[in-house]
A and B are shown apart, each in its own frame.
Chain A
Amino acid sequence: MINLPLFKQSIKSNYKLVLIFLAVLTLYIAIIVSMYEPEALKMMESFAETMPELMAMFGMNMEVATLTGFLITYLYGFLFLIMPLIVTIIVANRLIAAHVDKGSMACLLSSPNKRKTIILTQMQVLNLIIFAIIAYSTIITIISSEIVFPGEIEIVKLMLINLSLLTFHIFLGSICFIASTIANETKYSLMFGAGIPLLSFLIQMLANMEGKLDILKYFTLFSFFRPLAILSGEKYPYILLIIMIVITIIIYTVSIKIFKNKDLSI
């Protein structure tokens, strides 16, 4: 179920933003991969020993010294969480709330197109964009690693981690999307759509500092994504993955229901 004109318009509205973020990601991935060397790791380890809270706050854990572990520490602790999230927040807001806010949603709903088709189209656009970012990041990470350090990257594990990352971002996207669906103005859509995940990230940073704030890790959405646990072969991240999928389906189902009965405030 897709409305082709709307799908094309939504892609056209967002592709430039996505390309900019992909370019930035490419740059960062290439730099981080090239930074991997045992000597530098030793320096970072000593840095982590002197300021463990600061390093942990940004998700930079020095437990693993392989290339995969290094990339998880430096890419998946901050960059791969925040960059796609920013795109998701902006795009989700544009897909529904911005249309309602500027009045084009009223035109859409006055046309002979089902509300369900309209919202499903926008959902597919959001998830396609998230998929594109994660897939591109995965490919660039593998290519960069293979060019600079051939054979060192654990591709299967990296793919599993990225599958979890994709699920995690679709899960976050569903929160941004429902905020966009509920709100009639972009300011409220952004307040909740950006506020909930970013507040959650802030809590995660505090929890990573360990000590008394360690308990906070149970109150953050980011606890669902455990790349180091996947790398070390633990099973519980897959349970978290299933939980994320279930919650995402519930949130999207509720979004459809809300949108179908939505009164447009004009």
Chain B
Amino acid sequence: MKNVIEVKKLNKKYKNLQAVQDLSFEVKEKEILGLLGPNGSGKTTTINCLLSLLNFDSGSINILGKEMTPDAYDIKSKIGVVFQDVAVFEELTVIENITYFCGLYIKDKKIRNRYVEEAIDLVGLNDFKDFYPKKLSGGLLRRLNIACGIAHKPSIIFLDEPTVAVDPQSRNNILEGIKKLNKEGATIIYTTHYMEEVEILCDRIIILDKGIIIASGTSKELKELTSIEEKVTIEIDDLKQEIIEEFKKLKNVENVSYDSKLLYITYKKGKDNLINLIEFMKTKKIKYNKFFSELPTLNDVFLELTGKELRD
């Protein structure tokens, strides 16, 4: 697959704040790339630089083999953008809003009308075509925002936190829609601070913090960066301190804590961790109500690399 976006040593500073520092990455054709990071990590600044909405201090951005500039209209015609803020017009109905945004790209009325109908269908707003935005719920508004950004069938789509403050049903609908767009051939750059979404959606993930790429790769590759093998949570009604100390001495145990009847054990990489744990509890005759084990998440990767939670 060829690269459709190439960013080299991108730097952007706001007064004293270095928003993006020496950022370099590529996006391959038909790939879904996730930009993951907490608020203020530089995701939106990166997207705005890529779209030439912001002037940047140094570096280069090439999209579809050409340098991206504010006047690169041939490139812009192939790009679709869904911004974090819902940017629809209150005085226009759902169908009028989509027609307006699609009209900024598609001049032919017949083609435009067909594309608008397809966009409405994709985001599931068929029953709300003639509604004004103020009559729509937050989730439906987000869907409308997406329809406005992708109706012209772009080959590259930027989605900046499109599921913020969205109900689960709308979130699923949005994520399904994005997958469908990707199947139809669109390259997608997806920014979010929801790690679950990038895990479900993205082929490759870039983790940003303070404007710097701290890790990149597939979800599996990123999880291999962490020294944690798994996290075990056990519900135990009463646990004495000396037993907790014994848990800490088990092989490969990295950390143990007990709070509100829940025992949390974090394991380093190693063999037979769970078997050893169950054996130990049998030997000590420890009664437990619930027992479950989790593999490391991207939040664990972020925590290990930066010392803070993704949603801090």
* Chain A residues in the interface with B (C-beta under 8 A): 3-6, 8-9, 12-13, 102-104, 106-115, 261, 263-264, 266
A109: B residues at CB distance < 8 A: 51, 53, 70
Which residue in B51, B74, B84, B92 is a CB contact (below 8 Å) of A110?
A: B51
A112 engages B74 (CB within 8 Å): yes
A107: B residues at CB distance < 8 A: 81, 83, 87, 101, 104, 148-149
Alpha-carbon gap, A110 to B83, bound state (A)? 11
B54: A residues at CB distance < 8 A: 263-264
In the complex, the chain B residue whose C-beta lies closest to that of A263 is: B54
B124: A residues at CB distance < 8 A: none
Secondary structure call for the B interface: loop
Alpha-carbon gap, A103 to B91, bound state (A)? 16
Count, chain B residues at interface, CB 8 A:
30
CB distance from B23 to the nearest CB of A (A): 17
B91: A residues at CB distance < 8 A: 12-13
In the complex, the chain A residue whose C-beta lies closest to that of B48 is: A266
A102: B residues at CB distance < 8 A: 85, 87
In the complex, the chain B residue whose C-beta lies closest to that of A105 is: B87
With A9-B100, A264-B48 known as contacts, the answer to whether A106 contacts B81 (CB < 8 A) is: yes
CB distance from B80 to the nearest CB of A (A): 8
B87 engages A9 (CB within 8 Å): no
A111: B residues at CB distance < 8 A: 76-77, 101, 104-105
* Chain B residues in the interface with A (C-beta under 8 A): 44, 48, 51, 53-55, 70-71, 73-74, 76-77, 79, 81, 83-89, 91-92, 100-101, 103-105, 148-149
CB distance from B17 to the nearest CB of A (A): 13
A115: B residues at CB distance < 8 A: 70
A9 engages B92 (CB within 8 Å): yes
CB distance from B99 to the nearest CB of A (A): 8
Name 26 interchain pairs, CB-CB below 8 A, sorted by A.
A3-B104, A4-B103, A5-B100, A5-B103, A5-B104, A6-B104, A9-B89, A103-B85, A104-B87, A106-B81, A106-B83, A107-B83, A107-B149, A109-B51, A110-B53, A110-B81, A112-B73, A112-B74, A112-B76, A113-B104, A264-B53, A264-B54, A266-B48, A266-B53, A266-B83, A266-B85
Alpha-carbon gap, A261 to B52, bound state (A)? 11
A106: B residues at CB distance < 8 A: 48, 51, 53, 81, 83, 87
CB distance from A170 to the nearest CB of B (A): 25
In the complex, the chain A residue whose C-beta lies closest to that of B77 is: A112
CB distance from A208 to the nearest CB of B (A): 39
Alpha-carbon gap, A266 to B14, bound state (A)? 12
With A12-B91, A106-B87, A264-B48 known as contacts, the answer to whether A112 contacts B105 (CB < 8 A) is: yes
